[in-house]
């Protein structure tokens, strides 16, 4: 065996391992190598002037093509000498030559171009290069090869290039597109075109509207070039925040997209909290071992809006002060916009309600007091059972003076919404929590949405080093005209400050016009501007016009949004605008649908 190994080492080189087993150069129109077909295109001319990167359309195509670009620097002294000679001769022809208009125009172009090139070389220290460009199209069979070749040829010609098929030069073109720096003389003579240093920037090949973040998750594929889109929205060095907004009509694919995000981030161990007013995420909770909390008349799980949690402390405020501000938002949804007098009365009653449970503005009152003779090493925070409930507030209201408050609270204590009048009965320790509030009914969804937003916001603030996300489906209910300014301000605060807690807030809605209906769209616009990632699925014309007013979308993008198919999205990711197709595996579909 040792002799055989030594023999093989001496006879098989790396070159042998890389070399193909079959090569056919007999056909003048293509090259066949190991079952693959290759055909070349030579770029022999192009526009005199370009205002953008010339190969953008070619690189963003979805055809399997290799591009080889050679830059050959010319001798500056010889080039200036030849230019001066050409300028002198052409100048004489223009002055004393025949008067044929076509000849005069061609000579004038050559004369002006030569003077411009000489000036740039002498005054601006530009260098002169010869540019050689080759395209090699690759396919699995001859029909596909001809089809792809025609597509690339069309792209090049529409971009202002003059092309020529590399018939009878296919081998040379193939070798020119290998990474061996071989540019044969017979190809040079056909493709040489001069360009100044400044013009080289227009041929920069490493451009594409694709995204491939190192630790990103797969979102879909680019509709233009089929490249994968992988985004790490928690990358603080690349994106100003991890917030997202997802807009789209019913059936456009936005819910499926959100479910995919939840699934893929679940695999990374990221904490995720979902407010689900349409009962769309129950299968996700079941498949991914998440916690599903149902709130409604028929549920046996309860959440107490009066709960003060240990992680709920706000910077600059004590526990009770922070809670009173949040309760003001909740009660503004019940009582509507209140004047200063009603706000003061309500706050007085809330303070008294907590005082009856031994909770004051002194944060120590939130911790259990040690029993006589016992030493407590770690103070214990009071449980939900030791917090007041809505009925405690109701009982201290005066029948006459506080009649307005009592009437509004009655359904929450004794009526159809009495499930709000309970101590919290669920543990919230799972990394995936789905809040199902569908049973609340259309008019009462905003109460459940606000209450769960408050709970999830406290959990997000708990650990700054842990990435987490909160998904607010149908967010227009909290920042639209049916909400209140106080609640909208609270939601805006989440989007503005969640970044420093390692979090991501996701706004989801199909009613774009309602999103901008409060205070002339001030809160909707603020949330939109605080999202580094935006996904626009297909929208109706009315909603597109509203979006155009508040988002920086072009006329072309407006048309694209209207014509998107199911599962397609226009994505704004940082500074990149990409048309994407959301993709998933069959196994993922089984888990989330």
Q: For the chain, which residues make up each domain, given as ranges?
A: 19-73+128-207, 75-126, 240-301+426-593, 305-425
Q: Which pLDDT does position 98 carry in this prediction?
A: 60
Q: Can you tell me the mean pLDDT for 366-384? A: 76
Classify domain 240-301+426-593 at the CATH topology level.
Answer: Rossmann fold (3.40.50)
**At 15, is the pLDDT very low, low, confident or very high (cuts 50, 70, 90)?**
confident
Q: Which pLDDT does position 102 carry in this prediction?
A: 61
Q: Can you tell me the mean pLDDT for 479-499? A: 92
Query: H helices within 36-166, ranges in order?
Result: 56-59, 76-96, 101-123, 142-158
Q: Token match 């009509």: residue?
A: 249
Q: Token match 């009856």: residue?
A: 356
Sheet containing 432-436, strands listed edge to edge, beginning at the edge strand earlier in sequence? 211-212, 228-231, 217-222, 576-582, 568-573, 533-536, 244-247, 503-509, 468-473, 271-276, 432-436, 291-294
Q: Which pLDDT does position 149 carry in this prediction?
A: 94
pTM of the shown model: 0.74
Please tell me the number of Cα atoms within 13 Å of 277 on its side-chain side.
Answer: 25
Q: Which residue has the higher pLDDT, 149 or 201?
A: 149
Q: How far apart are CA 558 and CA 330, in angstroms?
A: 37
Computed over every residue of the chain, the mean pLDDT equals: 89
Q: Per-residue pLDDT for 129 more than 70?
A: yes
Nearest to 223 by CA among 569, 581, 577: 581
Please, what is the angle between helix 485-497 and helix 445-460, to 10°?
30
Nearest to 147 by CA among 37, 42, 304: 37
- Percent of the residues in the chain that have a pLDDT greater than 70, as a whole number: 95
Q: Can you tell me the mean pLDDT for 512-539? A: 92
Q: Which residue has the higher pLDDT, 556 or 148?
A: 148
Q: Per-residue pLDDT for 99 more than 60?
A: no
**Token pair listed for 435:** 């809040």
Q: Per residue in 243-293, pLDDT tens? A: 999 999 999 999 999 999 999 999 999 999 999 999 999 999 999 999 999
Q: How far apart are CA 28 and CA 40, in angstroms?
A: 11
Q: Which pLDDT does position 231 carry in this prediction?
A: 94
Q: Per residue in 426-460, pLDDT tens? A: 888 899 999 999 999 888 999 999 999 999 999 99
Q: How far apart are CA 73 and CA 129, in angstroms?
A: 4
Q: Per-residue pLDDT for 339 more than 70?
A: yes
Q: Which pLDDT does position 481 carry in this prediction?
A: 87
Q: How far apart are CA 543 and CA 561, in angstroms?
A: 10
Q: Can you tell me the mean pLDDT for 14-34? A: 90
Out of 183-187, 282-286, 360-364, 373-377, pick the least confident.
373-377
Q: Per-residue pLDDT for 206 more than 70?
A: no
Q: Which pLDDT does position 18 carry in this prediction?
A: 83
Q: Give the highest mean pLDDT range of 2-11, 174-183, 378-387.
A: 174-183
Q: Is 305-425 in CATH node 1.10.8.730?
A: yes
Q: How far apart are CA 81 and CA 290, in angstroms?
A: 77
Q: Which pLDDT does position 183 carry in this prediction?
A: 94
Q: How far apart are CA 562 and CA 584, in angstroms?
A: 23
Q: Which pLDDT does position 210 carry in this prediction?
A: 64
């Amino acid at each position: 065996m040792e002799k055989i190994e030594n023999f093989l080492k001496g006879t098989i080189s790396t070159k042998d391992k890389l070399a193909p087993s079959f090569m056919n150069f007999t056909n003048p129109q293509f090259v066949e190598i190991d079952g693959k077909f290759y055909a070349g295109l030579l770029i022999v001319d192009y526009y005199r002037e370009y205002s953008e990167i010339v190969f953008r359309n070619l690189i963003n195509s979805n055809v399997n093509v290799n591009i080889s670009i050679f830059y050959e620097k010319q001798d500056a002294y010889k080039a200036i000498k030849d230019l001066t000679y050409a300028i002198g001769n052409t100048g004489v022809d223009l002055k004393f030559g025949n008067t044929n208009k076509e000849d005069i125009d061609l000579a004038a172009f050559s004369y002006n171009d030569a003077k411009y090139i000489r000036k740039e070389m002498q005054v601006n220290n530009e260098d002169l290069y010869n540019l050689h460009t080759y395209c090699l199209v690759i396919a699995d069979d001859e029909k596909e090869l001809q089809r792809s070749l025609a597509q690339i040829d069309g792209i090049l010609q529409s971009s202002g290039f003059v092309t020529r098929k590399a018939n009878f030069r296919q081998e040379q073109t193939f070798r020119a597109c290998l990474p061996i720096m071989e540019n044969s003389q017979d190809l040079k003579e056909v493709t040489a075109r001069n360009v100044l240093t400044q013009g080289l920037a227009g041929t920069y090949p490493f451009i594409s509207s694709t995204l491939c973040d190192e630790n990103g998750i797969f979102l879909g594929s680019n509709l233009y070039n089929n490249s994968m889109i992988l985004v790490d929205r928690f990358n603080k060095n690349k994106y100003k925040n991890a917030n997202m907004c997802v807009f789209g009509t019913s059936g456009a694919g936005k819910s499926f997209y959100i479910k995919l995000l939840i699934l893929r981030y679940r695999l990374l161990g990221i904490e995720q909290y979902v407010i689900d007013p349409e009962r769309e995420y129950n299968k996700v909770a079941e498949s991914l071992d998440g916690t599903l909390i149902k709130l409604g008349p028929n549920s046996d799980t309860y959440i107490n809006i009066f709960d003060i949690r240990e992680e709920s402390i706000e910077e600059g405020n004590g526990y009770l002060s922070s809670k009173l501000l949040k309760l003001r938002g909740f009660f503004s949804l019940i009582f509507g916009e209140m004047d200063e007098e009603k706000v003061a009365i309500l706050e007085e009653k809330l303070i008294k309600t907590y005082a009856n449970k031994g909770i004051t503005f002194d944060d120590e009152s939130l911790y259990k007091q040690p029993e006589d003779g016992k030493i407590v090493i770690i103070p214990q925070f009071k449980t939900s059972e030791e917090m007041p409930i809505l009925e405690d507030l109701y009982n201290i209201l005066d029948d006459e003076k506080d009649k307005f408050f009592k009437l509004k609270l009655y359904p929450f204590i004794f009526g159809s919404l009495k499930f709000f009048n309970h101590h919290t009965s669920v543990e919230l320790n799972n990394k995936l929590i789905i809040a199902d509030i569908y049973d609340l009914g259309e008019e009462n969804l905003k109460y459940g949405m606000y209450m769960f937003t408050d709970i999830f916001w406290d959990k997000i603030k708990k650990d700054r080093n842990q990435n987490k996300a909160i998904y607010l489906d149908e967010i227009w209910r909290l920042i639209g005209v049916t909400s209140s300014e106080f609640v909208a301000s609270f939601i805006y605060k989440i989007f503005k400050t969640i970044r420093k807690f390692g979090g991501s807030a996701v706004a989801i809605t199909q009613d774009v016009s309602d999103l901008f209906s409060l205070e002339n769209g001030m809160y909707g616009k603020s949330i939109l501007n605080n999202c580094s990632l935006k996904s626009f699925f297909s929208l109706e014309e009315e909603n597109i016009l509203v979006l155009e007013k508040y988002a920086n979308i072009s006329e072309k993008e407006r048309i694209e949004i209207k014509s998107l198919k199911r599962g397609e999205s226009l994505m704004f990711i940082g500074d990149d605008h990409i048309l994407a197709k959301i993709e998933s595996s069959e196994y993922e579909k089984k888990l989330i649908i």
